[in-house]
Structure 1
């Protein structure tokens, strides 16, 4: 695996992991928009868990690439769903935020899959 793939994957996993922790601790900049979009509070721990497992899977993919690809695909689905949720809530000014996570996940997954 190339150095670029490792660096991008580690940084992406840290970024997604930060997002998971933000949900778990109830960071205002995360939970207020979730409430605004109509995401039930009971779903928030599941969303954080999905992101945390995805981040761990990306890191595990450095050792077992198919696992990283699977985690990446899961995160692509997750963040695509986040974009759809924001669009359905008509909160267009928030669309860039899930894209800030989706883009590096796509790149990391592509680099892992190319290895």
Structure 2
């Protein structure tokens, strides 16, 4: 397997997995972010579950590449929705979003090349 694909996928899994953990354990940061974006707090665990599923899919992609591809597509769509939520709420702080989005897009591209 190409090194770039392995490294990008591992970094994306680490980023998304850590975010999923914070969402699922009920940490205050995701709740505060949901409040700022006017997203009901009841959706925070759902968003965490989506991140966890994407992370699991990226890791499963090492064994079954098409699963990794679908997970990468799903995560790019997830963060596209996150951008919409940021813009709808008038948020100008897009640094965190940009890091996650760029990492997931790079992983998607690397996965496509790897297939």
Q: TM-score, normalization: structure 1? A: 0.93
Distance 2:96 2:83 in 1: 8
Deviation (angstroms), 1:28:
2.6
| Conserved 8 A contact 2:30-2:44 | no
1:30 to partner: Cα distance: 2.2
For structure 2, the residue ranges without an aligned partner over 5 or more in a row are none
* Superposition deviation, residue 29 in structure 1: 2.6
Q: How does 1:28-47 map to 2 (within 5 A)?
A: 28-47=28-47
Aligned pairs for 1:2-13 within 5 A: 2-13=2-13
TM-aligned CA deviation for residue 8 of structure 1: 1.2
Tell me whether 1:92 sits opposite 2:88 in the alignment: no
Q: Measure the CA separation in 2 of the matches of 1:35 and 1:27.
A: 13
Distance 1:83 1:96 in 2: 11
> How much does 1:53 deviate?
0.4
Offset of 1:40 from its aligned partner? Answer: 0.8
Q: Give 1:27 shift.
A: 2.4
- TM-superposed deviation, 1:36: 1.4
**Aligned partners of 1:105 and 1:90: how far apart in 2?**
23
1:78 paired residue number: 78
| Contact in 2 for aligned 1:66/1:113 (Cα 8 Å) | no
Q: Could you give the per-residue CA deviations for residues 40-65 of structure 1, whole angstroms, max 9, x where no partner exists?
A: 11111110000000011011111111
Equivalent pairs counted in the alignment come to 114
- Backbone CA RMSD of aligned residues: 1.0
